[in-house]
Amino acid sequence: MPAGFSRLARRTEDPAISWLMHSALARPKLISLAAGFTDNDSLPLEHTRALLNQLLRSRKAGRSALQYGSTQGDPALRRLTARRIERMDGRSGEASTDAERMIITHGSQQMLYMLTEALCDAGDIVLVEDPSYFVYLAILQSHGVQARGIAMEPDGVSIDALRARLELLRRSGDLPRVKLLYVVSYFQNPTGITTSLEKKKAILALLRKYERAAGHPIYLLEDAAYRKLRFAGKDIPSALSVDRRRDRVLYVGTYSKPFATGARVGFGILPEPVFTAVCRIKGNHDFGTSHLLQQLMARALSSGRYDRHLAELRKRYAHKASIMREAIRKHFPLEVQWEMPRGGLYFWARLPSRVSAAPGSRVFETALANDVLYVPGELCYADDPTRPKPVHEMRISFGSASERNIREGIRRLGQVLHQELTH
């Protein structure tokens, strides 16, 4: 950016996701295993139409939907959302206060953005899973916030690695700059890893231990974007259920992925004073999420249509994931490591570490030349100078591709990998 632009504008890079989405939209024959789009065939056209008809046939409800609401968001939607999360968590007696400290946003992405604005100045530090959600990393980068990666284990961040990092930061006097740990706790984007309840407990205890040296709270930002997209195993309670004083967890969720990505409704449950800070910022952003979309979601929840849709969606994703698993088994070289996810939209594949799958690598370019796109794992790693960025991984999504394209895409990708590994 030339003179006259802000520091934020100069730091804000072209986000990886636009480039990937653009590639997907621009090459009509491309099989995209990259985009986090949801399945096109599964989109709830009939539900949405029925709900909007109900809504707009009622003069009272319809007018309310087409008018401004409050900055915080629709009370009915907040109540319904809080009750569901409480029920999933196996908690009780907290839903009404959760609804009061909830803010509805234009997708959960907006909540991640505003939380960064509320808590972080340039030069601050945020701890992230290593790897993590790349658009969140882009938000941090644009705000001049330094991301530090915490190594992952099959059930979430390594507590030892987290402790070692906090200890290092304490010794170097950098703890006052540490604001939060960001965890995509269910079927993580990109690895598919789910954080266990034990880890959530251990994380909160550990963060709290270092708060004195930090001089302020160190929050756990729990991004539960994929929680509802579970198709195997049992749900795990959120960090809200282990935050006894209810003052350190920032819980963020969304209806985009489980219902419709075109109707962007997300939310956050925030303790004070984060709640107040974010609500004020939201007032300046847009003084409230589209009331029409909020009322649509509230009706989807209260009518049971959301649940019916979700049940279908889970079945569909389970099926697509199993198709991808079979294709990977059949076509990928044995040296490639991967695991069957239990939810979400992604497989995470690890090539032998000598093989690069990064943008511009032979693997990436050959795949693209064969009209198949994946997300290079490198893009999911923070710019953390304390370790080299792994480049041998790939995020492969079964979300938007058709079953046929999943099979064909994986077949092509397998060919590229076989070629490369025998190179």
Residues of this chain, 201-220, that bind a second copy according to CB under 8 A: 214-217
Residue closer to a second copy (CB basis): 154 or 283: 283
Residues of this chain, 99-118, that bind a second copy according to CB under 8 A: 106-107, 109-110, 113, 117-118
Q: Contact with a second copy (CB under 8 A): which of 15, 237, 333, 359?
A: 15
Kindly state the greatest CA–CA separation across the chain: 68
Element (H, E) at 354: none
Residues 6+ apart with CB under 8 A from 346: 187, 189, 190, 191, 192, 395, 396, 397, 398, 399
Residues of this chain, 32-71, that bind a second copy according to CB under 8 A: 35, 37-38, 40, 43-46, 48-49, 52-53, 56-57, 59, 62-71
Residue 283 binding a second copy, by CB under 8 A: yes
C-alpha–C-alpha distance, residues 124 and 112, integer Å: 16
Closest distance between a second copy and the C-beta of residue 345, in Å?
A: 13
β-sheet bridge partners, residue 346: 397
∠ Cα 274 13 145 (to 5°): 35
Which region among 7-15, 81-89, 220-228, 234-242 touches a second copy (by CB under 8 A)? 7-15
Residue 242 is classified by DSSP as G
Q: Contact with a second copy (CB under 8 A): which of 87, 171, 209, 280?
A: 280
Residue closer to a second copy (CB basis): 146 or 289: 289
Closest distance between a second copy and the C-beta of residue 122, in Å?
A: 9
CA atoms within 13 A on the CB side of 347: 27
Residue 402 binding a second copy, by CB under 8 A: no
Residue closer to a second copy (CB basis): 34 or 349: 34
Closest distance between a second copy and the C-beta of residue 211, in Å?
A: 9
DSSP 63-116: HHHHS---SS--HHHHHHHHHHHHHHHT--S-HHHHHHTEEEESSHHHHHHHHH
Residue 261 binding a second copy, by CB under 8 A: yes
DSSP 272-287: TTHHHHHHHHHHHHHS
Residue closer to a second copy (CB basis): 74 or 378: 74
Q: Contact with a second copy (CB under 8 A): which of 260, 270, 298, 382?
A: 260
Q: Are strands 219-223 and 346-350 parallel, antiparallel or unpaired?
A: unpaired
Q: What number of chain residues touch a second copy (CB under 8 A)?
A: 85
Closest distance between a second copy and the C-beta of residue 37, in Å?
A: 6
Residue 25 binding a second copy, by CB under 8 A: yes
Which region among 125-133, 158-166, 291-299, 406-414 touches a second copy (by CB under 8 A)? 291-299
Cβ 9 vs Cβ 122: under 8 Å: no
Residue 135 binding a second copy, by CB under 8 A: yes
Residue 291 binding a second copy, by CB under 8 A: yes
Cβ 68 vs Cβ 293: under 8 Å: no
Cβ 192 vs Cβ 226: under 8 Å: no
Residues of this chain, 334-353, that bind a second copy according to CB under 8 A: none
Residue 22 binding a second copy, by CB under 8 A: yes
Q: Contact with a second copy (CB under 8 A): which of 290, 356, 361, 397?
A: 290
C-alpha–C-alpha distance, residues 195 and 186, integer Å: 6
Residue 304 binding a second copy, by CB under 8 A: no
Q: Are strands 249-254 and 266-269 parallel, antiparallel or unpaired?
A: antiparallel
Residues of this chain, 151-190, that bind a second copy according to CB under 8 A: 179
Which region among 8-16, 232-240, 353-361, 363-371 touches a second copy (by CB under 8 A)? 8-16
Which region among 11-19, 183-191, 227-235, 239-247 touches a second copy (by CB under 8 A)? 11-19
DSSP 134-178: HHHHHHHHHTTPEEEEEEEETTEE-HHHHHHHHHHHHHTT-GGGE
Is omega for the bond preceding 131 within 30 degrees of 0, making it cis? yes
Residue closer to a second copy (CB basis): 46 or 335: 46
